A = this chain, B = another copy of it.
Amino acid sequence: MWQCASCGAGMPALPGLRGALECGHSMFEARFQTFEDASARGQSAARVAALRAELQRHGLDGFVIPRADRQQNEYLPASEERLAWLTGFTGSAGAAVVLRDSAAIFVDGRYTLQADAQVDGKVFSVEHLVERPPDQWITDNLKSGAKLGYDPWLHTSEQAEKLKKACAAAGAELVAVDGNPIDALWQDRPPSPSGAVSLRDLKLAGEAAPDKLKRVRAEIARLRADTLLVTDPQNVAWAFNIRGADVAHTPLALAFATIPRDGRPSLYVDSVKLNNAVRHAIEGFADVRTPDELARELEKLRGKIVRIDQASAADAFTQIISRHAKPQHGPDPITLLKATKNHAEIVGSRSAHRRDGAAVTRFLAWLDKEAPNGKLTEIDVVAALESFRRDTGALKDISFPTIAGAGPNGAIVHYRVTQASNRRIDKNQLLLVDSGAQYEDGTTDITRTVIVGEPSEEMRDRFTRVLKGHIAIATAIFPENTSGAQLDPLARTALWRAGLDFDHGTGHGVGSYLSVHEGPVRISKLGHVALRRGMILSNEPGYYKTAAYGIRIENLVLVIAAPEPVGAEKPLNVFETLTLAPIDRRLIEPSMLTDRERAWLDSYHERVQEIIGPLVDPAVRKWLEKATQPIGPLPRKQKKRRVATKSGRSRD
């Protein structure tokens, strides 16, 4: 125990803290996340005017600006933030179209408020990405005979095809530009990233790159292709057992690869990123070339069938390949190979989750102690959680900007706190914290929702329904070849019965020290890929009451074989829950849980205590013991709660 130097509160002893000890915001620091929200709004009008002049010089009547780089990365290097440079909008998804006399920016529902604040309404109209998508706006606004420019490196072929149709419907033409006109105007454009490439330890990768490439070649043969073009840097990282430092929150090297069915693969990566040892190791099984050489190498594949992923590859690649070879559009087979984790990756993930569970548990204990003082803000929470994770000594990065949503901010599904939006953690409010870590042995992603003070009856009802959904996934038993789409509804029926739902998928795939959002598997309406043993996914149902609070309970789960019942006709799978941290018992209404649900919760908490308890100091352990006490069986005489209906009838 120590006393806070500032407010005098008693605090559990925390190893790894230095200097004057204060509780709350002063003692923690976020290094992997910023809270600024700098918008280039003021310069937007001049930049758009300059762009229009540039377009006119090239005989174009308009230009499309997506938020994308050449590899459709989730996190863009600063040098690729053309949309933010032009419009001021800094959200993680969107696109703009600039025509001669009009311009529009398209953002989805979660970003409309932010776009209104960041974008100059005199220059751009703000449109809803889903309700009035760019292609429809183009058809409505482009003049017949006009030429609309697009950068074929920043759009997939699927996206380009849509734009082409939209132009055709307006009697106009879509024109691929040679060199992005914004790059010609962007004076202080940051340089392209040049993070060092490192080799992945074979103990962590579990399979040597040549062995992986052999399996990839077998897939290429099965698909009757001659060469696979790999444009997704996640897939390059997996196949070549390399990691990099080119984007935030994901250890990616921005690199490409070509893998022929027979012969040596080629890795295309900037020389500056490779030291001699790394280069030498890769050259043991692959040719190392620079990205400049890729187009020329593709031109050599005359008459060959080149597999290319239509969902992520730049349209420019399709154009290059079509000129000389035969493009075969379809998923990159590496995506599925990578999703199925091997033994070493599974062992690594379990280890990462023990470490992360201890850090999160320390955080939750600290929060439980500090939040009632009424001084903490969302930014304090983010900084504290990152600090607890850094204390592990193994944190490479956070796996995405932490979402800490107090009260109404919790209802914003993809909320990211800024100095402007930062809220105090008030009493009797819910706090939703969604965060994750990148450790070399695994990537984590966890959401806990906690109450500060006393929850309302409604909060307990909603939290318990979300928990029932979470448990339904955690305890699901399903045959091989079941898809995520088939499991998704199980997470919702308890909410449906009360006329509630949540507007996002139940889960996404997670990489092994790679992207926290990894394809192709997911638990959602759109998750048509079969779940296979070794896949890691999130289980994160939620409920969001606009302008009031948000609830989400998220653990990562691993698909494993189920014990086989006598008479079973199909191999069965279940989930092993990887994430280890207590779920706030104060928010649970026990009478709403079935015996089976209570049994899962108690056994989960028992496991958390057994595994995490020894990893934290005694004060936190004591807190954990209390936080993981069993809910236990329902007393016999306690009545089941019933939901009153407006018509006076009732049901469970």
Residues of A that sit less than 8 Å from B by CB: 458, 476-479, 482-483, 485-490, 492-493, 496-501, 525, 563-572, 596, 643-647, 649, 651-652
Q: Which residues of B contact A492 (CB under 8 A)?
A: 486
Closest 10 pairs (CB-CB, A-B): A499-B568, A563-B645, A486-B489, A563-B647, A565-B643, A477-B497, A499-B565, A564-B646, A498-B565, A499-B572
A to B CB contacts below 8 Å, 30 in the list? A476-B493, A476-B496, A477-B497, A479-B496, A482-B496, A483-B525, A485-B485, A486-B488, A486-B489, A487-B489, A490-B493, A497-B565, A498-B567, A498-B568, A499-B568, A499-B570, A499-B572, A500-B568, A500-B569, A501-B569, A563-B645, A563-B647, A564-B645, A564-B646, A565-B644, A565-B646, A565-B651, A566-B643, A566-B645, A566-B646
Say yes or no: A567-B499 contact (C-beta < 8 A), given A488-B486, A489-B487, A489-B490.
yes
A496 & B478 in contact (Cβ 8 Å cutoff): yes
Q: Which residues of B contact A458 (CB under 8 A)?
A: 567
Apart from A477-B493, A486-B488, 6 more pairs, CB < 8 Å? A476-B496, A479-B501, A486-B525, A496-B572, A501-B569, A564-B646
Copies of this chain, complex-wide, total 2
Q: Which residues of B contact A477 (CB under 8 A)?
A: 493, 496-497
Q: In the complex, A437→B25 CA distance in Å?
A: 73
Minimum C-beta distance from A371 to chain B (A):
27
Say yes or no: A565-B645 contact (C-beta < 8 A), given A500-B570, A596-B652.
yes
Partner of A563, one of B488, B489, B649: B649
B499 & A479 in contact (Cβ 8 Å cutoff): yes
Q: Which residues of B contact A496 (CB under 8 A)?
A: 476-479, 482, 572
Nearest opposing residue in chain B for A526, CB measure: B528
Q: Which residues of B contact A567 (CB under 8 A)?
A: 458, 498-500
Q: In the complex, A478→B596 CA distance in Å?
A: 23
Q: In the complex, A647→B128 CA distance in Å?
A: 54
Nearest opposing residue in chain B for A500, CB measure: B569
Q: In the complex, A487→B490 CA distance in Å?
A: 9
Nearest opposing residue in chain B for A497, CB measure: B477
Q: In the complex, A476→B490 CA distance in Å?
A: 12
Nearest opposing residue in chain B for A498, CB measure: B565
Q: In the complex, A483→B485 CA distance in Å?
A: 11
A646 & B563 in contact (Cβ 8 Å cutoff): yes
Minimum C-beta distance from A181 to chain B (A):
33
Nearest opposing residue in chain B for A492, CB measure: B486
Q: In the complex, A567→B499 CA distance in Å?
A: 7
Q: In the complex, A489→B497 CA distance in Å?
A: 17
Q: Which residues of B contact A490 (CB under 8 A)?
A: 489, 493
Q: In the complex, A479→B479 CA distance in Å?
A: 27
Q: Which residues of B contact A649 (CB under 8 A)?
A: 563
Minimum C-beta distance from A188 to chain B (A):
46
Q: In the complex, A570→B498 CA distance in Å?
A: 9
Q: In the complex, A499→B645 CA distance in Å?
A: 37
B564 & A499 in contact (Cβ 8 Å cutoff): yes
B644 & A566 in contact (Cβ 8 Å cutoff): yes
Q: Which residues of B contact A479 (CB under 8 A)?
A: 496, 499, 501
Nearest opposing residue in chain B for A481, CB measure: B501
Q: Which residues of B contact A572 (CB under 8 A)?
A: 496, 499
Q: In the complex, A650→B619 CA distance in Å?
A: 38
Q: Which residues of B contact A568 (CB under 8 A)?
A: 498-500
Minimum C-beta distance from A449 to chain B (A):
18
Minimum C-beta distance from A235 to chain B (A):
27
Q: In the complex, A564→B645 CA distance in Å?
A: 6
Q: In the complex, A482→B495 CA distance in Å?
A: 13
Nearest opposing residue in chain B for A647, CB measure: B563
Q: In the complex, A230→B474 CA distance in Å?
A: 48
Minimum C-beta distance from A594 to chain B (A):
9
Q: In the complex, A569→B493 CA distance in Å?
A: 14
A485 & B569 in contact (Cβ 8 Å cutoff): no
Q: In the complex, A488→B528 CA distance in Å?
A: 14
Partner of A525, one of B485, B499, B500, B646: B485
Q: Which residues of B contact A478 (CB under 8 A)?
A: 493, 496
Q: In the complex, A485→B479 CA distance in Å?
A: 17
Q: In the complex, A493→B568 CA distance in Å?
A: 14
Most buried by B among A501, A596, A649: A501
